[in-house]
C-alpha cells in the first residue's frame, strides 16, 4: 500500500471504528458505497485532500462502506451516501450529506482544531 492510501483508514468492524473515533484526534468519516458514483468522486477528493491539507497529521480520515458495516451506518442515521460525519472526542459534531469540496473540509477541520 502506498503512503497516500494509508492516510485514509478503513475500519474492518465496529470495534475498530469505535477505537478510531475515540482517539485524541478529530475524525472525518466518509460513509460510502462502492456502487455510488458520487461516493467515488468524494473518495478522489479525500485522496487529494490528504495530500494538500496542512494539518493532516492532526486528524484521522476514515472510510466506512455502508454495505459492509451496516450497523455503524444505522447507528449514525446514515440514509444517503456519501455522508461525511465529523467526530471530536468520540462524538459526532457535524453531519454533511452529499459531496463536499476540499475547501469546506479544510474549514470544518480547522474549526475543530481551533476549538470552535
Instruction: Say whether 111 is catalytic.
Output: no
**Marked catalytic residue, from 8, 36, 56, 97:** 36
For residue 65, give the C-alpha cell. Answer: 462502506
Query: How many Cβ atoms are within 10 Å of 14's Cβ, its own excluded?
Result: 13
- The residue with cell 497516500 is 4
Is 5 one of the annotated active-site residues of the chain? no
Is-contact 7 43, C-beta < 8 A? Answer: no
Q: Measured between alpha carbons, how far is 19 from 27 in angstroms, rounded to an integer?
A: 11
Q: Given 27, 28, 29, 39, which residue is catalytic?
A: 39
Which residues participate in catalysis according to the annotation? Answer: 36, 39
Amino acid at each position: 500500500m502506498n503512503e497516500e492510501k494509508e492516510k485514509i483508514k478503513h475500519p474492518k468492524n465496529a470495534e475498530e471504528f469505535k477505537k478510531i473515533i475515540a482517539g485524541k484526534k478529530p475524525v472525518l468519516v466518509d460513509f460510502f458505497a462502492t456502487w455510488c458514483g458520487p461516493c467515488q468522486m468524494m473518495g478522489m477528493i479525500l485522496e487529494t485532500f490528504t495530500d494538500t491539507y496542512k494539518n493532516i497529521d492532526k486528524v484521522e480520515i476514515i472510510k466506512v462502506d455502508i454495505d459492509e458495516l451496516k450497523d455503524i451506518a444505522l447507528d449514525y442515521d446514515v440514509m444517503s451516501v456519501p455522508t461525511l460525519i465529523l467526530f471530536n472526542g468520540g462524538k459526532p459534531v457535524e453531519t454533511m450529506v452529499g459531496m463536499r469540496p476540499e475547501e469546506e473540509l479544510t474549514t470544518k477541520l480547522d474549526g475543530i482544531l481551533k476549538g470552535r
